Amino acid sequence: MVQRTSPGPTKIQPESKVTVASFVGQKGGVGKSALARVLAVAAAHQGKRVLIGDYDLEQLTCVEWGAARLRNGIEPEVEVRAFKSLKKLRKKVDGFDLVVVDTRGLADDFTEEISKESDIVFLPTGTSMDDLRPTIGLAKRLAHQGGSSKIVIVLSRTGRSERLLEQALAFIERSGFECLDATWPQRDGFQSDMDLGKAGSEASNLYLKLAATKIETALLNCL
């Protein structure tokens, strides 16, 4: 984990080996929670002890997913807990290799706070300008705050249009931010697997498994 020397409250276990990866967004519905689970499961399959911190207390999407995973006996185990503050999270990360933070659907003060303490910040976005503009705006705001977090844009819930994908990639490139070299496609089968407590390459459909493996690899390579 990157060491920080700026003054302020104690960071999330700065002397430990835990990595903090946050998924943030300016709006909901862009696959933020889904991708948080994909990364968590991919890391768990590598033998890492993973904690998902669910900060969307109104939706608790990851918490409900974790409960379904437990009910259905899906391995490896991924611990999921709901949090309402960074102070609470700081007390619970000991013993984990990776902490994946799923934030609320609307950027707020907490978004900025957790981004400063993360090793990497993922910003999922669709390919439309309605999604891209606010996402890049948030990325610029987070980058302006300074800190050592790495910011990566992730094209998520993408359709089958190569033209829209190319336009989105060009827009991100012009903005000066890094874009993940794999996309998260919009497929109904992924949601069906999520409902059972699965994620990513745990998909039952071979095509979905292959697509998920690509983005799992890309996400893990960013850590």
Mean pLDDT of 195-208: 94
What is the Cα–Cα distance from 197 to 199, expressed in whole angstroms? 7
Residue 108: the pLDDT is 87
What is the Cα–Cα distance from 91 to 161, expressed in whole angstroms? 45
Rounded to two decimals, the pTM is 0.90
Longest dimension (CA), the chain: 49
Structure token pair of residue 147: 């800190």
Residue 148: the pLDDT is 59
CATH number at residue 58: 3.40.50.300
95-127 burial, b for 16+ CB within 10 Å, e for fewer? ebbbbbbbbbbebeebbeebbbbbbbbbbbbbb
Residue 151 phi/psi, 5-degree rounding, is: -110, 125
pLDDT band at 222 (very low <50, low <70, confident <90, very high): very high
State how far Cα 72 lies from the chain centre: 23
Residue 212: the pLDDT is 94
Whether 13 is covered by a domain: the verdict is no
What is the Cα–Cα distance from 24 to 142, expressed in whole angstroms? 10
Residue 28: the pLDDT is 81
Residue 9: the pLDDT is 45
pLDDT band at 3 (very low <50, low <70, confident <90, very high): very low
Whether 204 is covered by a domain: the verdict is yes
Percent of the chain with pLDDT over 90: 77
Structural domains counted in the chain: 1
Structure token pair of residue 150: 């790495």
Structure token pair of residue 198: 């699965």
Residue 139, domain extent: 19-221
Q: Which amino acid is at 123?
A: L
pLDDT in tens, 33-87: 999 999 999 999 999 999 999 999 999 999 999 999 999 999 999 999 999 999 9
Whether 3 is covered by a domain: the verdict is no
Is residue 4 over pLDDT 50? no
pLDDT in tens, 107-164: 888 899 999 999 999 999 999 999 999 999 999 999 988 765 799 999 999 988 999 9
Residue 1: the pLDDT is 35
